[in-house]
């Protein structure tokens, strides 16, 4: 059903598939599912076929098609940042991440739906596992497009929980790299202290392959069996707000990882991290009121109500309160290094539960905001589901700038869950 990036890359390497064949596979997925899911703001299969030259098979991304969240500037496609304010907008340049995809030999297949300016204002995309449910947001289309087998790789972005949450709700691997490892240049800004690039693919090894190829970094985890990690189960102060099945899923992941050889401990977060969780909203909203100043002051009436009210409220945050939030952030980032100690990764929920019913909300980022603020690599590990078949995502959080180790641990957990 899903298109595994790593599997496709290997079949291209062996000559069993050509880059053009993979475009045809995407075309098939799109023909089957796009009309009911609505994952794309725009796509161009003919252009992808034209650009799918056989020589791309030698490039790091092997000519694989990539969906780009419509929060990134593209010259080839209209870029509306999910907002009516920018309907039909044609940027003059490609975002840095789009160029990294091109330089790595990927094909830009199309633009995936973003919520308005990557906020909590919901968009039209539906969850491929049940159309009556949200796919999560703000990277709604990227998560759904991968989940529905329409594209093997998609780019997203996370300011609160916009990569890990939709990945969890759609049952795909989502990877938020360490803060500023990948460039946000040419991505519509919501919060310059928090906006982070993200990558979606079918499984953990797929997302690691894609990120390695795009970043030209040693991030692949498919070469050998991952070593058993030291895992800290972190329930967080929000634990009681997670559904019973999510609580069981995280505990199951911990016990399966332990059975597979991991050392599993439990870790409670000091009070400073509670403050940091609060600081996230302050920092994010103070910056969003400035980053989106033009849109708010000149096009307020065309914005969705959830976003508009958030920005109007943000106008009251003073520089002093913001500076306090930044100081707490700096202290928490430093404390996080000590907190991790010898721990390889933290295991914690990716979201409060499965995807909520309806399209009026993209769900809560309460299990993501702290980690976005702290900046370490986060991976959503797919593989579990509730009795109705809706995915439950397990979040693996690594140490800052130790992304490959975090991805290896996530692969270990993914395999343990599959046993």
Residues with active-site annotation: 69, 138, 162
Query: Binding its own copies by CB under 8 A: which of 11, 49, 102, 263?
Result: 102
The candidate with the shortest Cα–Cα distance to 254, out of 243, 266, 241, 245, is 266
> Contact region for its own copies (CB under 8 A) — 10-18, 61-69, 247-255, 290-298?
290-298
Answer for which of 193, 329, 348, 354 binds its own copies (CB under 8 A) is 193
Sheet holding 107-112, edge to edge: 40-43, 107-112, 65-69, 153-158, 196-201, 173-176, 378-385, 391-397, 345-349, 230-233, 263-266
Residue from 230, 227, 247, 278 nearest 411 by CA = 227
In terms of CB distance, is 157 or 193 closer to its own copies? 193
Residue of 116, 287, 408, 414 that binds its own copies (CB under 8 A): 287
**Structural tokens at position 194:** 């928090």
Site for its own copies in 163-192 (CB under 8 A): 180, 183-186, 189, 192
Per-residue burial over 189-216, b = 16 or more CB atoms within 10 Å of its CB, e = otherwise = bbbebbbbbbbbbbbbbbbbbbbbbbbe
Q: Is 272 in the site for its own copies (CB under 8 A)?
A: no
Among 89, 300, 313, 357, contact with its own copies (rule: CB under 8 A): 89
* Partners of 187 in the β-ladder: 72
Rounded Cα–Cα distance for residues 179 and 398 (Å): 12
Q: How far is the CB of 290 from its own copies (least distance, A)?
A: 5
401 part of the interface to its own copies, by CB under 8 A:
yes
Window 210-239: residues binding its own copies (CB under 8 A): 215-217
Sign of CA dihedral 219, 147, 227, 249: positive
Of residues 197 and 233, the one with the C-beta less far from its own copies: 197
Per CB under 8 A, which of residues 323..382 are in contact with its own copies? 323
Tokens of 174: 């989502």
Minimum CB separation of residue 291 from its own copies in Å reads 5
Point out which span in 33-41, 89-97, 234-242, 382-390 binds its own copies (CB under 8 A): 89-97
The single residue among 25, 42, 45, 99 that binds its own copies, judged by CB under 8 A, is 99
CB 312 → its own copies: shortest distance, Å?
A: 14
Least distance CB 12 / its own copies (angstroms): 23
Give whichever of 245 and 324 is closer to its own copies, judged by the CB atom: 324
| Residue selected from 1, 31, 58, 93 as contacting its own copies according to rule CB under 8 A | 93
Give residues with Cβ within 8 angstroms of 410, minimum separation 6: 173, 204, 345, 379, 381, 396
Distance CA 99, CA 73 (A): 10
Q: Is 199 in the site for its own copies (CB under 8 A)?
A: no
Distance of closest approach, residue 300 Cβ to its own copies, in angstroms: 13
125 and 140 Cβ atoms separated by less than 8 Å? yes
- Which one among 14, 55, 92, 244 touches its own copies, defined by CB under 8 A? 92
Q: Which two tokens stand for residue 110?
A: 């199309």
User: To the nearest whole angstrom, how small is the minimum distance from the Cβ of residue 175 to its own copies?
Assistant: 16
Task: Output 134 or 157, the one with its CB closest to its own copies.
Answer: 157
Nearer to its own copies, 277 or 296 (CB): 296
CB of 217 to its own copies, least distance (A): 5
Please check whether residue 209 is in contact with residue 10, taking contact to mean a CB–CB distance below 8 angstroms.
no
Could you give the C-alpha distances from 217 to 60, 210, 257, 403, in angstroms and in order? Answer: 11, 10, 27, 10
Instruction: Please tell me the count of residues contacting its own copies according to CB under 8 A.
Output: 33
Indicate whether 402 belongs to the interface with its own copies (CB under 8 A): no
Point out which residues bind its own copies (CB under 8 A).
Answer: 75, 86, 89, 92-94, 96, 98-100, 102-103, 180, 183-186, 189, 192-193, 215-217, 287, 290-291, 293-295, 297, 319, 323, 401
């Amino acid at each position: 059903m899903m298109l595994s990036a790593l599997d496709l890359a290997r079949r291209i390497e062996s000559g069993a598939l050509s880059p053009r064949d993979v475009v045809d596979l995407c075309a098939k997925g799109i023909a089957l599912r796009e009309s009911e899911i609505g994952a794309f703001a725009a796509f161009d299969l003919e252009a992808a076929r034209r650009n799918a030259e056989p020589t791309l098979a030698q490039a790091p991304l092997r000519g694989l098609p990539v969906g780009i969240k419509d929060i990134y500037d593209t010259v080839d496609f209209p870029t509306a940042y999910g907002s009516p304010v920018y309907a039909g907008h044609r940027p003059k340049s490609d975002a840095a991440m789009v160029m990294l995809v091109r330089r790595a030999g990927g094909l830009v297949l199309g633009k995936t739906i973003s919520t308005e300016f990557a906020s909590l204002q919901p968009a039209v995309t539906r969850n491929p596992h049940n159309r009556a449910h949200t796919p999560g947001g703000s990277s709604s289309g990227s998560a759904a497009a991968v989940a529905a087998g329409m594209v093997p790789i998609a780019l997203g972005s996370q300011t609160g929980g916009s990569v890990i949450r939709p990945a969890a709700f759609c049952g795909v691997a989502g990877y938020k790299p360490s803060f500023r490892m990948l460039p946000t240049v040419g991505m519509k800004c919501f919060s310059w202290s928090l906006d982070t690039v993200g990558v979606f693919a079918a499984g953990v090894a797929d997302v690691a392959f894609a990120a390695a190829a795009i970043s030209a970094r040693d991030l692949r985890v498919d070469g050998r069996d991952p070593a058993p990690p030291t895992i800290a189960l972190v329930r967080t102060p929000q634990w009681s707000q997670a559904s019973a099945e999510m609580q069981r899923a995280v505990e199951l992941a911990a016990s399966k990882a332990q059975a597979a050889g991991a050392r599993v401990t439990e870790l409670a977060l000091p009070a400073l991290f509670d403050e940091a969780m609060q600081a996230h909203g302050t920092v994010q909203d103070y910056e969003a009121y400035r980053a989106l100043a033009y849109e708010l002051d000149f096009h307020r009436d065309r914005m969705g109500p959830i976003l508009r009210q958030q920005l109007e409220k943000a106008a009251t945050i003073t520089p002093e309160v913001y500076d306090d939030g930044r100081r707490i952030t700096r202290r928490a980032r430093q404390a996080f290094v000590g907190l991790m100690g010898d721990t390889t990764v933290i295991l914690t929920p990716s979201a409060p539960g499965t995807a909520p019913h309806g399209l009026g909300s993209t769900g809560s980022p309460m299990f993501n905001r702290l980690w976005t603020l702290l900046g370490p690599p986060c991976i959503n590990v797919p593989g579990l589901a509730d009795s109705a078949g809706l995915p439950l995502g397990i979040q693996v959080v690594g140490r800052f700038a130790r992304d490959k180790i975090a991805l290896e641990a996530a692969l270990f957990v993914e395999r343990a869950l599959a046993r």
